[in-house]
Chains A and B, each alone.
Chain A
Amino acid sequence: MPLTHEEILRYSRHLLIPEVGLNGQEKLKAASALIIGTGGLGSPVSLYLAAAGVGRIGLVDYDSVDSSNLQRQIVHGSSTVGKLKVESARARLLDLNPGIQVDTYNVPFTAANALEIAAPYDILIDGTDNFPTRYLTNDVAVLLGKALVYGSIYRFDGQASVFDARRGPCYRCLFPEPPPPGLVPTCAEGGVLGILPGTIGTIQATEALKLILGIGDALIGRLLLYNALDMSFDFVNLRKNPACRICGENAEIKELVDYEAFCGVPGHDHETGTAGAEWDLVAPELARWLTGENPPLLLDVREPHELAISALPGALNIPLGALAARLSELDSAREMVVFCKAGTRSARALELLVSAGFQRVKNLRGGINAWAREVDLSLPVY
Chain B
Amino acid sequence: MKTKILFFATLRDKTGTRATEVELAPGATLANLKEMLIAQFPALDAQLMQHCLAAINHEYRFDADEIPAAAEIAFFPPVSGG
Which A residues contact B (CB, under 8 angstroms)?
37, 39-42, 126-131, 134, 151-155, 157-159, 174-175, 177-180, 183-187, 190, 192, 197, 223, 225, 227, 230, 234-239, 241, 269, 321, 325
Contact = CB atoms under 8 A, between A and B. Distances in A.
A40 B81 contact: yes
Candidate in B42, B55, B60, B76 with the most chain A CB atoms within 10 angstroms:
B60
Interface in B2-26: 8-10, 14, 18
Contact of B53 (A174, A227, A325): A174
A183 B45 contact: yes
Contacts of B59: 236-237, 239
Interface in B31-53: 42-43, 45, 47-48, 51, 53
A177 B60 contact: no
B82 A127 contact: yes
16 contacts: A126-B82, A130-B80, A152-B82, A175-B51, A178-B78, A179-B77, A180-B51, A183-B48, A183-B51, A184-B48, A186-B80, A190-B10, A234-B74, A236-B60, A238-B60, A269-B80
Contact of A321 (B43, B53, B78, B80): B43
Contacts, number: 104
B82 A180 contact: no
Interface of B: 8-10, 14, 18, 42-43, 45, 47-48, 51, 53, 55, 58-60, 62, 74, 76-82
A87 to B, nearest CB: 20
Nearest to A159: B79
Nearest to B62: A241
B9 A155 contact: yes
Contact of B81 (A235, A237, A269): A269
Given A174-B60, A225-B76, A234-B58, A40 B47 contact: no
Nearest to B42: A325
B78 A175 contact: yes
B81 A192 contact: yes
A197 B81 CA distance: 9
Candidate in B10, B42, B53, B79 with the most chain A CB atoms within 10 angstroms:
B79
A179 B51 contact: yes
Contacts of B45: 183
Nearest to B56: A236
